[in-house]
Amino acid sequence: MTICIDCRMIDASGIGVYLRECLPYFLQSGNDFLLLGDSARLQCYTSNTNVKIIECDIKPFSLKEIFLFPLKTARRINRANAYLSPFFNVPNGVNIPVYTAIHDIIFPDMPELTSKIGLIARIWFYRRAYKKSQNIFTVSEFSKSRIQHHLGAEKPVVVTYSAIQPAFLSFRANNKNIQKTQTIVFVGNIKKHKGLYILLEAFGQARSEGLPHRLVVIGEEKNFRTSDNTVLQKIESLGGNAVTFTGFISDEKLMEHLCTASLLVQPSLYEGFCLPPLEAMVLGTHALISDIPVLKEIYADFPVTFFRSADPSDFKEKMIGLLLNKTPSSPVLPDDLLLKYTFEKTASIILQNMNEIK
């Protein structure tokens, strides 16, 4: 079987990781592959005899992708037996069986995150992907239920959990003696569903009760300055070096922050999967996370601590309890939990479904 994979988002954050980590397992499957994207970025895969590149610089979700996609490129794609997109965009002119991934369906669930026009556009893309897809892949049972709620239950929606990058496992194995610091780490952004304001309220309460730890926000401060003055004012009211921003950092630096932190906090109101708690625990750091349904699903068997979602007081109490009481300094995940979510499993489920093409 020949599979065309859309690799135009291979350098994106979450989508790119999902794609990059699955690709090696795809390429070992015995199938042939056409990789759609920038040939320079995909050059590393051309040493595989079962790989050919289809050059394409048209942006995903663009008007050109929908209305002016080159006929010549579409013809090359259609020589394959199936088309796989790691996201929910499909170029015009693709008429072979299509498989897409919808990692979450947050905008219909939280329409306040975008404008009316933005919501209409996103719902159009969701519905278009749903209509064109033979199967849809997603990353949790929660996301599956929301996709079916908004788009229907006629098409198969297959759960292929996300997973941790092997580099995190290697980093932990090679850095067993790293010392903890009095830092709390938040990995996220200003968007309402990430719950940063709830974190800042709880953190401020904890500081007023003597918590000495600093909060380290993995992200660019300028993004916060241009997005929400209320959040910025809250940060500034904490004073001094209570809250610091890392700016853009490499995966290696991210691993260092997670490994040396005393605690990772994830106050999300909505997620599709949410990797940072898993990454933190693999690196020996406790995770304090909200008890929203998807996190209860993903982390039910893991040694995390849940707090009541959107409740700063409960968040503060749990945070102080973990940081000032005698909690073990480093959680240890047994092999069954380390191997619960792997990209090898994810790739295997995707290929199994695609091999059922009739």
- CATH code at 2-163+342-354: 3.40.50.2000
State mean pLDDT over 206-227.
Answer: 79
CA angle (90, 96, 98) in 5-degree steps: 45
Residue 142 confidence (pLDDT) above 70: yes
Question: Do 2-163+342-354 and 166-338 come out as alike in CATH topology?
Answer: yes
Cβ atoms of residues 260 and 231 within 8 Å: no
Q: What is the rounded distance in angstroms from the CA atom of residue 103 to the CA atom of residue 14?
A: 10
pLDDT higher at 56 or 329: 56
Residue 225 confidence (pLDDT) above 50: no
Span 166-338 CATH architecture: 3-Layer(aba) Sandwich (3.40)
State mean pLDDT over 139-155.
Answer: 97
Q: What is the rounded distance in angstroms from the CA atom of residue 204 to the CA atom of residue 265?
A: 14
- Helical H runs in the chain? 14-27, 63-67, 71-77, 106-109, 116-132, 141-151, 166-174, 196-208, 221-225, 229-238, 251-260, 276-282, 293-298, 312-324, 335-338, 343-354
**Highest mean pLDDT pick, 10-14, 84-88, 162-166:** 84-88
So where are the chain's domains?
2-163+342-354, 166-338
